[in-house]
Structure 1
Amino acid sequence: MDQVKWGIIGCGDVTEVKSGPAFSKVPNSTLVAVMRRDAVKAADYARRHQVSTWYDDADALINDPAVNAIYIATPPGSHAEYAIRAMRAGKPVYVEKPMALNAAECEAMNQVSRETGVPLFVAFYRRALAYFSAVKELIDQQVIGNIRYVRVVLNWQPDDREVGSQPGWRVSPEISGGGLLHDLASHQFDFLEFALGPIKTASGIARNQAGLYQADDMVVANFEFESGVLGTGSWCFTVNKEQRIEETQLIGSKGKITFSFFENFLIRVETETGSEEYTIPFPAHVQQPLIEQIVNELRGNGKCPSTGETGARASAILDQITAR
């Protein structure tokens, strides 16, 4: 593939800045078509982002001969359906995270990718960001010795978009696969596996304590990596503003690394010789580094680290943690 010509299915909020503009900023890549079921919004997106073609029907975009790769940015409930249709049409797929509603749907997507030979990638873009590459490098260099323990904490207050008479899709399990845990912790577990290796077992307790919406709003978990590293996590989405915290700690035999997945650009390293801090901001379009790696692979140059096979693992871990 000489030039990668993208079509987007589901040109919603995530595509406005995080991903959409990057497709035409990466070398040998162009965004040529977008689709949204609301024709007015699809046309508006195309106009504002200088995209030549828009559709209100997914099959029309999938079958457009000018499109040779497809980015699926709808909510997870339709990921498997659209990805399978696109791969069966012979077009490589880049799908938003979480990869699908559950591990079974992820496996169905991967099975079609294997059968057709059509590549499948997942938007776990932290695998390509400089901030997280720095965290992984600190681990690999054993700056804090051997990792013993991982501690993940996320306490956030309710989001106005997720409460009320019509809660958003992220807290509607039939659309998202779960609640905010699935939207956020999928990123966390994917990167932890990228940095520390596969998670062997995971278990947890998931509950709805506040009754603000249908999905779980409080989750605690234990997990063990194949390397023997142990981990705990807690996610609460109904605290007040003063209790807000989001940090991950890696405890090693010689020190500690503290970093954030969502809240800041600071990495703090503490050892017996003192402490150091690194600030590494995200790029303007956070998915651009990963999209560039996908484009390079499709053109025969290198390999992207976030595939359907790696992406499915985060969904499997979340299934284990939230199992009733």
Structure 2
Amino acid sequence: MSNKIRWGIISTAGIAEKSFIPALRETSRGELVAVSSRDRNKADAFAKKHDIPTVYDDYTSLLESNEIDAVYNPLPNTMHAEWTIKAAQHGKHIFCEKPLAMSAEEIMAMSDSCEKANVKLIEAFVFLFHNQTLKLRQILDSGVIGDITATHAAMNFHIQRPSDNIRLNKELGGGGLLDGGVYPITFTRFVFGEEPITVQASCLIDPEYGVDTRTTAILEFSHGRFATIQMSMDGPGGQNAAIYGEKGFINIPLPYHPRNGAHLSVKTSDGEEQFSFDDGRHPFTQAIEHFHEVLLDGKELAVPATNALGTLAIVEAIFESAKTGQRVTL
């Protein structure tokens, strides 16, 4: 491997165009060399638009290339495990979109395949690597707001119906929880630094599409601490989170996709202090830079791929609680 990571993208998914490519090009140690699609015309157009030198008309051919070190996998949720495992078997490192997989068994199979092939796997919860989140951890650890008593984390957006949006496609792993709900869940797990004890939730299942579109959940943590999770694909509202402590609270308007204007505020009896993270960089950039450090410098991966197991366990508990009307113990 040279002093740069050569990247290939599996598919021409919109998130690759909107999020991954501009962030990769903000880094100094990675270059985009190839894209693949099962539709050659689509791949050619995508490559021309984004100045990508090599095009493959199937995913396997890209994985077989000796000119690629790592791949970005933004395929539908139900295809993450299959193509991550295949990428590992071809010696490629993988930056996989969230949710990492559809089951704990898939997550472990992906992790085992990567370990066997001596390649690295990272899940694209990019906020975990962002300066805003790193600063948040420092603030929490400082004790300035005291012991955490509760949190609230939400993610809301609107999908107009009728729609062929993949988030409404049950067969491809659609639904609000797996698309957007995993953000507040993962954020909440990060804040508490542990897994919840119980989960109680309600979900609305869209009768036409058969996927969850609205969810509210209460997570109970140790020592009588609680978190509320709210997710909807039925209306605007965006993202937000708040953390409440015995001596103060923290407000984070853009917790999962910190971008221009990103900041957090800390309010205690001593007053309010605001921290800004408006550096103009894309939310994905620091996560990709960290992955480059792991691959090129031997740095330890800050968040192992198996972290996805905790989030998926909560998703499954939410569905079970919503179905049975009972609190679920993890």
TM-score (norm 2): 0.87
Residue 29 of structure 1: CA displacement?
Answer: 1.6
Whether 1:190 and 2:190 are equivalent positions in the alignment is no
CA distance in 2, matches of 1:225, 1:120: 29
CA distance in 2, matches of 1:128, 1:94: 13
Please list, as runs of the form range in 1=range in 2, the aligned pairs for 1:216-255 lying within 5 A after superposition.
216-225=212-221, 229-239=225-235, 244=237, 246-255=239-248
Q: 2:295 maps to which residue?
A: 298
Match of 2:297, SS?
coil
Whether 1:174 and 2:174 are equivalent positions in the alignment is no
Change (3 A) 1:267 1:299: same
Match of 2:27, SS?
coil
Moved more, 254-263 or 72-81: 254-263
Which residue among 309, 314, 320 is the counterpart of 1:312?
Answer: 309
Residue 209 of structure 1: CA displacement?
Answer: 5.8
Residue 271 of structure 1: CA displacement?
Answer: 0.9
Which residue among 194, 199, 202 is the counterpart of 2:195?
Answer: 199
Residues 131 and 282, structure 1, Cα contact 8 Å, conserved in 2: no
Residues 24 and 30, structure 2, Cα contact 8 Å, conserved in 1: yes
CA distance in 1, matches of 2:281, 2:212: 32
Q: 1:159 maps to which residue?
A: 159
Change (3 A) 1:20 1:153: closer
Match of 1:306, SS?
coil
Match of 2:307, SS?
helix
Residue 54 of structure 1: CA displacement?
Answer: 0.9
Match of 1:16, SS?
helix
Match of 1:303, SS?
coil
Residues 200 and 223, structure 1, Cα contact 8 Å, conserved in 2: yes
Match of 1:192, SS?
helix
User: Structure 2 stretches of 5 or more lacking a match?
Assistant: 324-330
Residue 123 of structure 1: CA displacement?
Answer: 0.7
Moved more, 275-284 or 89-98: 275-284
Q: 1:130 maps to which residue?
A: 131
Which residue among 257, 277, 291 is the counterpart of 1:280?
Answer: 277
CA distance in 2, matches of 1:227, 1:47: 56
Residues 199 and 220, structure 2, Cα contact 8 Å, conserved in 1: no
Once the two structures are aligned, what percentage of the paired residues are identical? 26
Whether 1:67 and 2:64 are equivalent positions in the alignment is no
Q: 2:328 maps to which residue?
A: none
Provide the alpha-carbon RMSD of the alignment.
Answer: 2.4
Residue 281 of structure 1: CA displacement?
Answer: 2.9
CA distance in 2, matches of 1:93, 1:155: 28
Q: How many residues align?
A: 316
User: Structure 1 stretches of 5 or more lacking a match?
Assistant: none
Residues 153 and 188, structure 2, Cα contact 8 Å, conserved in 1: no
TM-score (norm 1): 0.88
Whether 1:269 and 2:262 are equivalent positions in the alignment is no
Whether 1:37 and 2:38 are equivalent positions in the alignment is yes
Residue 228 of structure 1: CA displacement?
Answer: 6.2
Match of 1:99, SS?
coil
Change (3 A) 1:43 1:278: same
Change (3 A) 1:68 1:209: closer
Q: Kindly indicate whether structure 1 or structure 2 has the higher relative contact order, using CA contacts under 8 Å at least 6 residues apart.
A: 1
Whether 1:258 and 2:254 are equivalent positions in the alignment is no
Residue by residue over 1:162-210, the C-alpha shift from the partner in whole angstroms, topping out at 9 and shown as x without a partner, is x20x43111223213x412221222222233334312133423343266
Residues 127 and 256, structure 2, Cα contact 8 Å, conserved in 1: no
